[in-house]
Copies of this chain bind each other. A is one copy, B any other.
Amino acid sequence: MTFDSLSPDDLVSHERQLSNEFEQLKATGLQLDLTRGKPSPEQLSLSDGLDATFDGQYVVDGGTDVRNYGGLFGIREARRLGGELLGVHEDLVIAGGNASLTLMYQYLSNALFYGPLGPGTAWRDEGNPLRFICVVPGYDRHFTITESLGFEMVNVRMQDTGPDMDAIERHVREDPMIKGIWCVPKYQNPTGYTFSEDVVNRFAELGKIAGPHFRIMWDNAYVVHTLFGQGDPLANLMDACQKAGTADSVVILGSTSKITRAGSGIAFLACSSTNLSHFKQGLSVQTIGPDKVNQLRHVRFLRDGQGIEAHMQRHAEIVRPKFEAVLEHLVAGLEGIATWTRPNGGYFISVELPRGTAATVVQLSGEAGVKLTPAGSTFPYGKDPDDSNIRLAPTYPTLEEIHQAMPVFLTATKLAFARQRLEHS
């Protein structure tokens, strides 16, 4: 149903009908929140076993008492776990605090003010304005970090096999002020797409074009978050970079935030030993080290890569039906009007609405008690040039709430579209 076949009169009566439907939905007084990628309480309960007694066993790895000071990069056991999670040797992994966002900020501010490779390499000494490539649609908190640090942001479009690599290579070749790029390579936020092997290999070559101070911020937040089937394969960027001789160009990030607890997990940063030694200097000024007790708690609970995989299957059993429900509603309600992604994992479904309607749909949905992520928030500066992208986050609401919320979203979309057509008819 694209309204193309409707006469002007029919369009008017169709809009009136949708308005009526929408008023009825409003009257039901919903209060639902589909804004952020939060795990549901049921998912969180999967990890309540973290809070087991330690039975006095606080000493690890040859004498480190996790209750005391020391260990800027975290305990060896947690670094190993992070290495298994991210596919990187444990010596290259920092097991940090509770937020990979903090590690990202610390890494970038250190590179900006003190240099990715130490004295004489500080980005801020290279002139103004510095730029950062942002894959769009993407993750708003990434964009906020680079905006706050004073970078201009350059949009490059996400496609179903990864970002537009031609555009990235062209930008990097032509503009020496570009210092890095934000990526979520697997089950990308918000599309849910995974970068292809070809894309990963081109990322491994990027450092050769960009020079030694360029950094790929490879936020592998959803690396083990498969929902359907065998999931998507993702080539190992660190391996590819090591082969290409560009290991310094990549900074890999991840966390257990959506494995165990959101805000009480372990964050990881992995990079070459050269990068690590320069980052260490900045890090040591800002912290006495991470919460090692919580790291040990996690190691004992998750054990290893296999333990994580088994745990993630339990998550998938809870989350999968919710994704299926959202997708069923989209198919039933918006075929021909909008398009959407069908990810094999992750936390989001990305919907492309008719151009110029996203902000209206978010507003209308909000009026009917369904809070959506603000339109534009998947773009730098909150500005979606097409005003068309919407990020749906199915994990937190219950199945029943999804079945209540989706009709609101669908009707709001059809209503916004009908009104837009009316205005232009």
Interface residues of A (CB under 8 A from B): 36, 38-39, 41, 44-45, 47-48, 51-54, 56, 58, 65-70, 97-99, 101-102, 105-106, 109, 141, 144-145, 148, 257, 261-264, 282, 285-294, 297
CA distance A51 to B286 in the complex (A): 27
Q: Which residues of B have CB within 8 Å of A286? A: 101-102, 105-106, 145
- B54 & A294 in contact (Cβ 8 Å cutoff): no
- B48 & A51 in contact (Cβ 8 Å cutoff): no
Q: Which residues of B have CB within 8 Å of A291? A: 97-98, 263-264, 291, 294
A262 nearest CB neighbor, chain B only: B69
A100 nearest CB neighbor, chain B only: B288
Find A290's partner among B47, B70, B261, B263 (CB 8 Å cutoff). Answer: B263
- B69 & A36 in contact (Cβ 8 Å cutoff): yes
- B67 & A262 in contact (Cβ 8 Å cutoff): yes
The smallest beta-carbon distance between A108 and chain B, in angstroms, is: 10
- B36 & A105 in contact (Cβ 8 Å cutoff): no
- A68 & B39 in contact (Cβ 8 Å cutoff): yes
Q: Which residues of B have CB within 8 Å of A289? A: 99, 263
The smallest beta-carbon distance between A63 and chain B, in angstroms, is: 11
The smallest beta-carbon distance between A353 and chain B, in angstroms, is: 26
- A48 & B38 in contact (Cβ 8 Å cutoff): no
CA distance A175 to B254 in the complex (A): 46
Given A38-B68, A98-B291, A53 contacting B54 (CB threshold 8 A): no
- A54 & B56 in contact (Cβ 8 Å cutoff): no
Q: Which residues of B have CB within 8 Å of A294? A: 264, 291, 294
CA distance A51 to B56 in the complex (A): 10
Copies of this chain in its oligomeric complex: 2
- A285 & B144 in contact (Cβ 8 Å cutoff): yes
- B292 & A264 in contact (Cβ 8 Å cutoff): yes
Given contacts A101-B286, A106-B286, 8 further A-B contacts (CB under 8 A): A38-B69, A44-B67, A47-B67, A66-B264, A67-B264, A141-B288, A144-B285, A257-B288
A36 nearest CB neighbor, chain B only: B69
The smallest beta-carbon distance between A147 and chain B, in angstroms, is: 8
Q: Which residues of B have CB within 8 Å of A52? A: 51, 53
Q: Which residues of B have CB within 8 Å of A109? A: 109
A255 nearest CB neighbor, chain B only: B288
CA distance A101 to B97 in the complex (A): 14
- A68 & B51 in contact (Cβ 8 Å cutoff): no
A102 nearest CB neighbor, chain B only: B287
Q: Which residues of B have CB within 8 Å of A38? A: 68-69
Q: Which residues of B have CB within 8 Å of A99? A: 287-289
Given A145-B285, A293-B261, A54 contacting B51 (CB threshold 8 A): yes
CA distance A53 to B53 in the complex (A): 7
A68 nearest CB neighbor, chain B only: B262
- A287 & B101 in contact (Cβ 8 Å cutoff): yes
The smallest beta-carbon distance between A73 and chain B, in angstroms, is: 13
Q: Which residues of B have CB within 8 Å of A56? A: 45, 48
**Please, could you name 21 A-B residue pairs with CB atoms under 8 Å apart, sorted by A?**
A36-B69, A39-B68, A47-B67, A66-B264, A67-B261, A67-B262, A67-B263, A68-B261, A68-B262, A69-B257, A97-B98, A98-B291, A99-B287, A101-B287, A105-B285, A263-B289, A263-B290, A264-B293, A291-B291, A291-B294, A294-B294
7 closest pairs, A vs B, by CB? Answer: A264-B293, A44-B67, A105-B286, A69-B262, A148-B285, A264-B291, A98-B291
Q: Which residues of B have CB within 8 Å of A53? A: 51-53
CA distance A285 to B144 in the complex (A): 6
A145 nearest CB neighbor, chain B only: B285
- B44 & A68 in contact (Cβ 8 Å cutoff): yes
CA distance A259 to B359 in the complex (A): 50
CA distance A145 to B285 in the complex (A): 6
The smallest beta-carbon distance between A251 and chain B, in angstroms, is: 16
**Which of A58, A68, A261 has the most chain B CB within a 10 Å cutoff?**
A68
CA distance A262 to B64 in the complex (A): 13
